[in-house]
Amino acid sequence: SAMAAVRDVEIDPEGTFKYILVRLQRPGGEERRDIVRGTKAAEFHNHIFEKVNPEMEKLGYECKCLGGGKIDHNSKDKKIRVFGLSTGYGKADHSVTVEILKKVYTDYEITWSDDKK
């Protein structure tokens, strides 16, 4: 399906940056899935959503931001840390985010916490 063509994760390869957890759903349909998007280019969490939303609408999905936080991506040590929250969207369920990240970064150590920093 087209939904399967949407990548689970699109995050920067290195550094600490904001991320959001987004739920995709077919209007009126049962099919849904959650994706993770994060980038240093975004000064605020809504900047990420404003980029993702039109892309997904073109594919026929409704998007809902489930919350946000930060990701610390250390590609050298193969570690990802998920933490923090979004002022605008609230805190994403980082445990869900970690499960999605694990599908893509299979050989990484991935952790989460409610720490702000």
- Using DSSP's 3-state secondary structure scheme, residue 64 falls into strand
Catalytic pick from 45, 47, 73, 94? Answer: 45
* DSSP string across 2-58: HHHHS-SEEE-SSEEEEEEEEEEE-TT-S-EEEEEEEETT-SSHHHHHHHHHHHHHH
Check if 45 is active-site: yes
15 phi/psi in degrees, rounded to 5 = 105, -175
Q: Is 18 annotated as a binding residue?
A: yes
Binding site residues for substrate, as ranges? 18
Q: What residues are designated binding site? A: 18
Residues tagged active-site: 45
